[in-house]
Structure 1
Amino acid sequence: MIADLIRAYKSPAMEEILENISKFSFENLIIFIYGERGTEKEDLIKIILSYIPHSKIIKLPEEYGKKKFLSGHDNLVYIVKNFENIDISFLYGDKPFRCAIFVSDTDHEQLYKKNAISFELYEILSKSHKLYLPPLKERKQDIIPLADFFLKEISEFLNLPNKELSTEAKGAILNHQWIENVSELKRYLVKAFILTRHKKLTLKDIFGEYNDRLSIKGFLELKLGNFLKDFANIENSNLYETVIQEVEKALLSLVFGEAEGNQVKTAKILGINRKTLYKKLKHYNLI
């Protein structure tokens, strides 16, 4: 599965990270993995460990006692996620280790400014091999291959036939903001996989019909799809004007209401001048 995961990464940023990992010499190596919450830091650790066969992992500070027990092992790997009051003396001991992996949601500069790490650890992280995971929305080349990989992973875990994404689902997934990054993508896919019986997952299977986080483009396409069926066989239906007016009226009504009837505030939110707003509100009988 690790090989499949590596193949799923198509973005230049991730390809560079993977190339750097493949060139590492794992001898007392210090690695600092950081990126937004929900980025695939755990998956990156798995990829790193795939280069160290038979590694013995010690999670610090949780398994500090285990450190003494395994300190003579040849393939020792330290993983540090909790920096509070961490004793970093293991980095300077006589016992060699393959690598020490420090993991954080923020970079070492921010950690130091927030007094979350000591100056000593700050200097160590400054000189470490830094692997920054960009947000998923900035790596669109990775989104669909990762989604396909996760669907395969889910099917194997549940021992069920694999499922695939429809064309419309792929488009919506690419346009989604993924605020919580890969962790959010996984949750959506697990839910859709479990709750559907058909093999091809649709946009509605992934996001639901009224999902608030659905992109504007995706939402309009979803709603207009059913609406257009009623006009398909009608000539001279004036469809363009009908759709534009309905969308504009709904937008004006929502923003005007959110602004509590304040026309100046409404105009600023919409990015139009007040006179234009007044004419439109009068046209749609909203004032």
Structure 2
Amino acid sequence: MLNTQEEVLEAWKTFIARGIILEDKVRPEIARSWERCKANGMDPWSLDFPIYSQSLLKEKRTKYAQLLTLSGPIMNFLLTLLDCNISICNLEGFVFELITPLKHYPRSLGTYANEFTSGNGAVTIALNEKIAFRTDGFEHYRMVSQTYSDVSVPIHSNSIMIGALNAVNPFSCLPNQALPMIIAADKILENLLDHNEGKFKPFIDSKSFQEMIDCSSLFVIVINQEGVVLAENLASEQLWDPILLKNKSFENSLIYKGDLSLLLDKDTQNVNQRDFLIKELTTSKKQSYLHCVLLRKNRILLPNGDIYSVLVFDPFSAKDETGNPCNFSSKPPKYCKPTLPKDVDYIGESPAWTKVDRMIHKTAQFPSNVLLQGETGTGKEVVAKAIHRISQRKGSFVAINCGALPKELLQSELFGYEEGAFTGARTHGSIGKFEHAHEGTLLLDEIGEMPLDMQVALLRFLQERTITRINSTKSKKVDVRIIAATNKNMAELVKAGQFRQDLYYRLNVIEIELPPLRERKSDIPLLANYFISELSKQLKMQPKEISDDALKILCQYNWPGNVRELKNVIEKAMILSEDEQISSEILSEYILHWAPDSSSSKDEDSVEKLSERDHIIQLLEKTNGNIFQTAKALNIARNTLYRKIEKLNIKIKTSALKDSK
């Protein structure tokens, strides 16, 4: 029987504090890896990572050149199926190959993954125990790695172990079939190594290949450059009879024939997350079709020059307003507007919000602390509620504004108090927010406003997970997931001595920055219609439509108050509008007459033509590298600008200079 994460966490705390293994709460392989980490002097609280070695990386890549050639296509298959970091290391744990869906993930490539320098994980256990293995969450010895989920399998060449093939998700839990999938992938690789099949002839036809894609619960289709279907997994057979699909053009399955060229195109940006209409191919005469979202697509080049496209679909059936399945036997509509799920926490389909949505779903599965950053009105509490709902924690969602209460009241609100604790205290005392949120989630809003002495009390709670009510000597253990939120630059508060650095690192295990509404204006029509629907219920009014002119004006406005301001504008418009339609005339005067600053409007056309990187460089040059002035001109926070500068690889000197290409 597998242990729960709560049991593993209890075992981990006991081992860290007392050096005792709770054998009934942790697997023996994990226990042995903890003991090795401790014996090697590994600090479980360390935030350090191994140092990258370019020279050693070059040396190992030369030594394992054949392995890299043979493993490349297999690793890319795994990347497409699992959407996580895929790596290969040698017997010493040196990672000499890494492919990742993340834009920035510098930690493991060119470094050693071992229990001396980086703690334990699936790869260290696979290498030490010589078995295929999986680790999740609190099974990791180091706290910084306890959001990870990873699988690893030893690689053999002619029965001699030479390294390990690994899959790691740093943010969320890998699917249940991740370990069988990587084992099947390893079988293909070992077969190629043993027989030196450089032409990859057995690759697509091998039993191991079919095992690998069959492990996925999503619909997986593999096509060649001509669009001919080479393979499909078991899950896809719910839609397609393999006899009708295999060795036939995938174009036969698409409602819109032009979609095949999109699926074969090298560019993935234009098709990922796109909705495709696909026929249900069965021997039955009756034909229907489904909407299938293309989650991922990857073109894989084999050493013999063949190119395969791996397509991973997530299907969903559309339903009509009564909840019955739509009849798709007739000509399909040009556009089907997606219906919102029953439990709606937030709205958004823009690229900026899609990134936030992915982080929310990855984060929710683990109890790690989360720091939400964003301007006022961007929806921090809404996102916190979403994380709580998706996590399915048993307890309640509780929120407290750390900046709205004086220090004395804040302490009693958080920790509770006993009778007689202070003047005006209730006769029988009161429980605090921590106890209210037991087995649930506590949102500490405006965390940057918390007084320093209360920060000490919060840090103590995060370390011990116990609370003591005011005027009491009894401690009580509380299971609470902490989410902190702020519209301030926490790094600057720490630098100024207004916020404890150790508490900042404790809260900032996972950071999610919410984009302002002006950076996701494509979501405004969706948000506006959602607010109209919700407000019509609250105000007991008939739902109203919003005119195209009004929407256009709303999309042009800069929204300093963000989503909260948009909701207020919609509510006012609904109340004042006497017609069934919200027209542009009913909008507030300040929105109707809003215009960009004259200084920026002069350069509006040229700015639109500039890339984001060039635009930031231009503003930095104009302000002589002044971060405050540049952030103000971009209408973003300084910490947001710092992230963009790092992401876009912009170098700042006395004045900003363009990198030479």
TM-score bracket, normalised by the shorter chain, equals: 0.5 to 0.7
Task: Compare the two structures and name the one with the higher helix fraction.
Answer: 1
| 1:63 partnered with 2:63 | no
Aligned 1:1-287 pairs, distance under 5 A: 3=342, 5=344, 8-24=347-363, 26-51=365-390, 52-58=392-398, 59=400, 61=410, 62-65=413-416, 66-67=431-432, 70=435, 73=438, 75-81=439-445, 82=447, 83-84=450-451, 85-86=454-455, 87-88=457-458, 89-94=460-465, 95=477, 97-126=479-508, 128-208=509-589, 211=590, 214-216=593-595
Q: Aligned-pair distance for 1:96?
A: 5.8
Q: Aligned-pair distance for 1:98?
A: 4.9
Choose between structure 1 and 2 for higher RCO, CA contacts under 8 A separated by at least 6 residues.
1
**TM-score of the pair, normalised by structure 1:** 0.65
Q: Report the equivalent of 2:611.
A: none
CA-to-aligned-CA distance 1:65-106 (integer Å, 9 cap, x gap)? 134883894x23222124223322221225463520101002
Number of equivalences: 213
Q: Aligned-pair distance for 1:57?
A: 3.7
CA-to-aligned-CA distance 1:146-181 (integer Å, 9 cap, x gap)? 111111111111121111210100100000011111
For 1:194 and 1:37, the matched residues in 2 are separated by: 25
**TM-score of the pair, normalised by structure 2:** 0.30
For 1:195 and 1:176, the matched residues in 2 are separated by: 20
Q: Aligned-pair distance for 1:5?
A: 4.2
2:367 counterpart letter in structure 1: N
2:396 counterpart letter in structure 1: K
1:55 counterpart letter in structure 2: G
Stretch of structure 1 that moved more, 180-189 or 95-104: 95-104
CA-to-aligned-CA distance 1:118-170 (integer Å, 9 cap, x gap)? 121122244x2111011111111211111111111111111211112101001
Q: Secondary structure at the match of 2:565?
A: helix
Is the contact between residue 549 and residue 584 of structure 2 (CA under 8 Å) also seen in structure 1?
yes
Q: Give the root-mean-square deviation of aligned CA atoms.
A: 2.7
For 1:180 and 1:170, the matched residues in 2 are separated by: 17
Q: Secondary structure at the match of 1:100?
A: strand
Stretch of structure 1 that moved more, 97-106 or 47-56: 47-56
For 2:364 and 2:577, the matched residues in 1 are separated by: 46
Q: Secondary structure at the match of 1:123?
A: helix
Q: Which runs of 5+ in 2 are unaligned?
A: 1-339, 403-409, 417-430, 466-476, 597-661
Rg bigger for which structure? Answer: 2
For 1:103 and 1:194, the matched residues in 2 are separated by: 32
Is the contact between residue 176 and residue 214 of structure 1 (CA under 8 Å) also seen in structure 2?
no
Query: 1:70–1:7: structure 2 CA closer, same or farther, 3 Å change rule?
Result: closer
Q: Which runs of 5+ in 1 are unaligned?
A: 218-287
Is the contact between residue 444 and residue 482 of structure 2 (CA under 8 Å) also seen in structure 1?
yes
1:77 counterpart letter in structure 2: T
Query: 1:19–1:3: structure 2 CA closer, same or farther, 3 Å change rule?
Result: farther
Q: Secondary structure at the match of 2:369?
A: strand
For 1:53 and 1:2, the matched residues in 2 are separated by: 20
Task: Compare the two structures and name the one with the higher strand fraction.
Answer: 2
Is the contact between residue 371 and residue 512 of structure 2 (CA under 8 Å) also seen in structure 1?
yes
Query: 1:48–1:72: structure 2 CA closer, same or farther, 3 Å change rule?
Result: closer
Query: 1:25–1:169: structure 2 CA closer, same or farther, 3 Å change rule?
Result: closer
Query: 1:7–1:48: structure 2 CA closer, same or farther, 3 Å change rule?
Result: closer
CA-to-aligned-CA distance 1:248-282 (integer Å, 9 cap, x gap)? xxxxxxxxxxxxxxxxxxxxxxxxxxxxxxxxxxx
Q: Aligned-pair distance for 1:4?
A: 6.6
Query: 1:155–1:114: structure 2 CA closer, same or farther, 3 Å change rule?
Result: farther
Q: Secondary structure at the match of 2:542?
A: coil
- Deviating 4+ runs (over 4 angstroms): 1-7
For 2:528 and 2:506, the matched residues in 1 are separated by: 36
2:491 counterpart letter in structure 1: E
Is the contact between residue 442 and residue 481 of structure 2 (CA under 8 Å) also seen in structure 1?
yes
Q: Secondary structure at the match of 1:32?
A: strand
For 2:574 and 2:582, the matched residues in 1 are separated by: 8
For 2:432 and 2:557, the matched residues in 1 are separated by: 43
Query: Among the aligned pairs, what percent are the same residue?
Result: 27
Query: 1:54–1:198: structure 2 CA closer, same or farther, 3 Å change rule?
Result: farther
For 2:381 and 2:346, the matched residues in 1 are separated by: 17
